[in-house]
Structure 1
Amino acid sequence: MKFVHRSERTGNDEQLIPLINVIFLMLIFFMLSGRIAPSDPFEIEPPVSTEAPQAQAPEPRQRTLLIGADGARALDGEALDAQRLRERLAAWRQDDPERELRIKADAGLTARQFQETLVLLRGLGIERITLLATPAN
């Protein structure tokens, strides 16, 4: 009696290679197409707006001022004390007076703390201000 010896398959690795290639291509696509923004230096819970949302991307001439519930301030992601904030905004304002400042303030911020910031901005001559808020559902 003669037994036929079947050779065992060397493995299914050959079938996995196209799948791995597709997964790596998808990973590269999402890495290139996704936009990763730096996180804010402290947590902000913006107030809720009652108006219809007007989605617009920030212009290159805009800067963003974050104001925390405790009054902490950050300009474009960098936490600053009052003096350094004043210096940075004055230099920025001097470069181009028509620039717009976006303010992202915490909903728990008191009116007095917010008014202090507005007085600082008025003293520097910054008149174009946009207040960012979360749209109401």
Structure 2
Amino acid sequence: MLRLARPRQTRPRESTVTLINIVFLMLIFFLVAGTLTPPLDNAVALISTSDAERSEPPGALFVTKDGEMRAEGTVVDAAGFVARHHAEADMQSGQTLEIRVAADRDLPAARLVDIVGALRAAGAGKISIVTERAEP
């Protein structure tokens, strides 16, 4: 008896077009759904930290090395900045207003403490200092 090998059945090749379409749709989704943050103020070089929780600075109060406070490119004072944030925030009872301060690394620490005190006196509840992560 003569045995002949059966020809192997070739599976049809799957098209990579479907995969490309899915990846392209995911790319568009993440571009649209991703959060876009405003650029940092050019006059501020952030303080560096080596181990900190990552946080984006949208709506932050920028403080230059001379102690000038800026928000969205305009010069502001502590009371005006907090008042504007109170007006913009949809505050419910019991919530505290959170302020992010992005200070220049060359700003004297005593001046930063004064600014934080002024923000607290103006009604800010939680104040966070925005830094950049230093490379180890």
TM-score band (shorter)? 0.5 to 0.7
Tell me how far apart the structure 2 counterparts of residues 107 and 33 of structure 1 sit (CA, whole Å).
33
Match of 2:48 in 1: 48
Tell me how far apart the structure 1 counterparts of residues 48 and 85 of structure 2 sit (CA, whole Å).
29
Tell me how far apart the structure 2 counterparts of residues 126 and 38 of structure 1 sit (CA, whole Å).
22
Give 1:71's aligned amino acid: G
Tell me how far apart the structure 2 counterparts of residues 64 and 39 of structure 1 sit (CA, whole Å).
11
Is contact 2:82–2:123 with CA below 8 Å preserved after alignment? no
Is contact 1:42–1:68 with CA below 8 Å preserved after alignment? no
Alignment of 1:17-96 (within 5 A): 37-50=37-50, 52-57=51-56, 63-75=59-71, 77-82=72-77, 85-93=78-86, 95=89, 96=91
TM-score (norm: length of structure 1): 0.58
Q: List runs of 5+ in structure 1 lacking aligned partners.
A: 1-28
Give 1:48's aligned amino acid: S
1:108 maps to 2:106? yes
Tell me how far apart the structure 2 counterparts of residues 80 and 122 of structure 1 sit (CA, whole Å).
19
Is contact 2:60–2:101 with CA below 8 Å preserved after alignment? yes
Tell me how far apart the structure 2 counterparts of residues 130 and 104 of structure 1 sit (CA, whole Å).
9
Comparing both structures, which one devotes a greater share of its residues to helix?
A: 1
Distance 1:33 1:100, change over 3 A: closer
* Count of residue correspondences: 106
- One of 125, 128, 131 as aligned partner of 1:127: 125
TM-score (norm: length of structure 2): 0.58
Query: Could you say what secondary structure the match of 1:93 adopts?
Result: helix
| Deviation per residue, 1:27-56 (Å, 9 max, x gap) | xx6x86887644344421111213x23224
| Deviation per residue, 1:73-111 (Å, 9 max, x gap) | 112x232243xx522412423652523111110010012
Distance 1:70 1:32, change over 3 A: same
Tell me how far apart the structure 1 counterparts of residues 36 and 84 of structure 2 sit (CA, whole Å).
28
The structural deviation recorded for 1:116 is 2.3
Tell me how far apart the structure 1 counterparts of residues 99 and 130 of structure 2 sit (CA, whole Å).
10
Is contact 2:55–2:130 with CA below 8 Å preserved after alignment? no
Tell me how far apart the structure 2 counterparts of residues 89 and 129 of structure 1 sit (CA, whole Å).
11
